[in-house]
Amino acid sequence: MKKLLFTHGFSMFLFVLMPFTALMAERVTVTTSPQNAKIYLNGVLMGSGKLLVTVPKKECVTVEIRLDGYVQETRTYCNKKGMTSPPRNEYIQLQVDESISATFQTDIANNEILINVKTTKSREEAWQQVVSTVLGKFDVLENNDEKAGYIRTSWNGTPFASNTVRVRLIVKQASEDPLTYKVKFVSEESGKRGTPFNADEQYRPFNRILKRYDGFIEELTTKLKN
């Protein structure tokens, strides 16, 4: 900032000259809900809850509002000729991410869990208990090989507002004596709404499992060990 002093006759005037680019900038006050939502400006964390965003002349800036458990919101403000001017104020309320509220984080996601079968239980009886327990949660078995002791369910997908989650269960016999099984929940997400459940290339591992499967491992373990 520069200060220039001018005199004219007996009068004195003080002018404060701001940089030209600053005078031409637009400013937006962004307020978030929840108040602890983090505000990123062009990918850089700038604060949370409220931020005064400056949009330089002939430029655009991107604001992202992020908070765990909520759907991210993104706004782009431009200060360019022919484009809509940024608002002076913008209130951004995040929506709850249902793919988080409907799931729980767990170490059993995408990891094999070893279950030992009671030594006095026959292989046939144990297998019947495995199949019946799996069918209690999954409608379709894509592969059911009693001789090999192997089950794989079809993908069971759930679409959310901003994500798609798919889950399948794999059970395989680990050893004959002692009789043991390995159980694995394969849980994946696409990060997008409406992703086809068979679009393998669009999914990535998800370290959470849908709440409707909570307690499955404990149930199967109890049946096989008693």
CATH 2.60.40 boundaries in the chain:
2-96
CATH 3.30.530 boundaries in the chain:
103-225
Q: How long is the chain?
A: 226
Query: Long-range contacts of range 21-24, CB-CB < 8 Å, 24 or more positions apart?
Result: 21/56, 21/57, 24/56, 24/57, 24/79
Question: What is 103-225's CATH topology?
Answer: Alpha-D-Glucose-1,6-Bisphosphate; Chain A, domain 4 (3.30.530)
Query: By the 8 A CB rule, do 173 and 184 touch?
Result: no
Q: Please tell me the predicted confidence (pLDDT) of residue 23.
A: 58
Q: Partners of 160 in the beta sheet? A: none
Q: Which CATH class is domain 2-96?
A: mainly beta
Structure pTM? 0.75
What is the rounded CA–CA span in Å between residue 159 and residue 156? 10
Q: Please tell me the predicted confidence (pLDDT) of residue 84.
A: 93
Q: pLDDT tens string for the chain (226 positions)? A: 444 444 444 444 444 444 544 558 999 999 999 999 999 999 999 999 999 999 999 999 999 999 988 999 999 999 999 999 999 999 999 999 999 999 999 999 999 999 999 999 999 999 999 999 999 999 999 999 999 999 999 999 999 989 999 999 999 999 999 999 999 999 999 999 999 999 999 999 999 999 999 999 999 999 999 9
